[in-house]
Structure 1
Amino acid sequence: MFERFTKTARVIVRDGVHLAEQERAALIRPEHLLLAILKHGDTTSAKILAAHGVTTAAVTEAIAQAHRRGGLSQADTAALSEVGIDVDAIVEALESTHGEGALAPARRRRAFGPRWRVPIAPESKKLLERTLREALARKDSTIGDEHLLLALLAEQGVVADILAGFGVTHRTVTAELAQAG
């Protein structure tokens, strides 16, 4: 499948791996791929995100907040509050006992081996498989950065939740790509 990726899409995936390595993440998550897309401002997907006001700083802050809540989306938090569960109070109680970031994804322990051994999270594998389906749906012969963005938006999770807050959804991106031709 990777032979179908454009050079830009391959660079974005590689940069997502590098970002995960730099933060010593235990797994390469979809959030790393989103940040890698934003790193390349001249790509189709980065231009679409920029048009909606999505910045690296805003996404980094939103990811930190989502990780602080243990990955719960805003919708999950709102639903829990409707039944009387205050997620923020629970997070504060956990952090007061176990330290800041108690619900955040695990970090990789210091290792003395090759850097490239950060495993890919199951949701990231699913996402990369989804890029092929997005390309086929658009009748494209290659998988580009725009397919990666569409795949990020098609799957439920932290990234789709964050981008929905900026008004970026699978439907809006599909429409913008169709309009751009």
Structure 2
Amino acid sequence: MFERFTKDARDVVTGSVEHAERAGADSVTDEHLLLAMFDQEGTRTAFAFAALGIMDRRGSVEDALADARRRGGLSKADADALAGFGIDVTEIVSKVEEAHGQGALQVEKKSKRWWAGHRSFTPEAKGILEKSLRIALGRGDRHIGGEHLLLALTARPGVAADVLAEHGATYEAVERAMFGGGAAGVG
């Protein structure tokens, strides 16, 4: 499948590995794919981020991702849903961290290949790569570009998709920004 990736899509994939390495993560996650998309310039993904005002709010996106990590991967929407049942996730996280140290709920799955310097992709990240192929095929495109990766990221459930949606980047909004309103010629 990787041979079908355009240069910008390959850059996202390799950039996500670099983000995982810098973070000391054993595996590449959907979060690392998202962060690598922020590094893109002159692509449809960069255009969509700019059009939706996301590029200027990278810090806010990174903070929201960090908050989700601190909550053990629960998105803000998950925390809000639990609050509807009277469960205060912030209070639970605080008590767990008080007893076990800051970041105690952060789950890091150990990669089988990390010792060899290779960071595997989590099942969620692999799912995004696979979904990008289906999106490209569904659009009649012969190659998988960064735009397909971004659409796949917004289409699959996960923390990165939830954070993007909180910042106004839903699947529909991203698709409109990249392909609607004259954006088709970008990238």
TM-score, structure 1 as length reference: 0.92
Match in the other structure for 2:23: 23
Q: How does 1:32-71 map to 2 (within 5 A)?
A: 32-54=32-54, 55-71=57-73
Q: How does 1:86-105 map to 2 (within 5 A)?
A: 86-105=88-107
Residue of structure 1 aligned with 2:86, choices 78, 84, 87: 84
CA distance in 2, matches of 1:148, 1:3: 15
The answer to whether the Cα contact below 8 Å between 2:31 and 2:160 also exists between their aligned partners in 1 is yes
The answer to whether the Cα contact below 8 Å between 1:19 and 1:36 also exists between their aligned partners in 2 is yes
- Please give the per-residue CA displacement for 1:10-65, whole angstroms capped at 9, x wherever unaligned: 01100101110111102110100110010113221122112222233222111100
CA distance in 1, matches of 2:176, 2:115: 45
Match in the other structure for 1:153: 154
Residue identity opposite 1:25 in structure 2: A
Q: Equivalent residue of 1:85, what SS?
A: coil
The answer to whether the Cα contact below 8 Å between 1:39 and 1:56 also exists between their aligned partners in 2 is no
CA distance in 2, matches of 1:43, 1:32: 18
Query: Structure 1 residues 52, 136: CA separation in 2 closer, same or farther (over 3 Å shift)?
Result: same
Match in the other structure for 1:13: 13
CA distance in 1, matches of 2:47, 2:105: 33
Gaps of 5+ in 1: none
Overall identity of the aligned pairs, in %: 46
- Please give the per-residue CA displacement for 1:89-110, whole angstroms capped at 9, x wherever unaligned: 000000001111111232869x
Gaps of 5+ in 2: none
- Please give the per-residue CA displacement for 1:112-160, whole angstroms capped at 9, x wherever unaligned: 9543x11210111111000100101111111000000000000011011
TM-score, structure 2 as length reference: 0.89
CA distance in 1, matches of 2:47, 2:177: 11
**Would you identify which runs of 4 or more consecutive aligned residues in structure 1 move more than 3 Å?**
111-114
CA distance in 1, matches of 2:63, 2:50: 16
Query: Structure 1 residues 43, 178: CA separation in 2 closer, same or farther (over 3 Å shift)?
Result: closer
Residue identity opposite 1:24 in structure 2: G
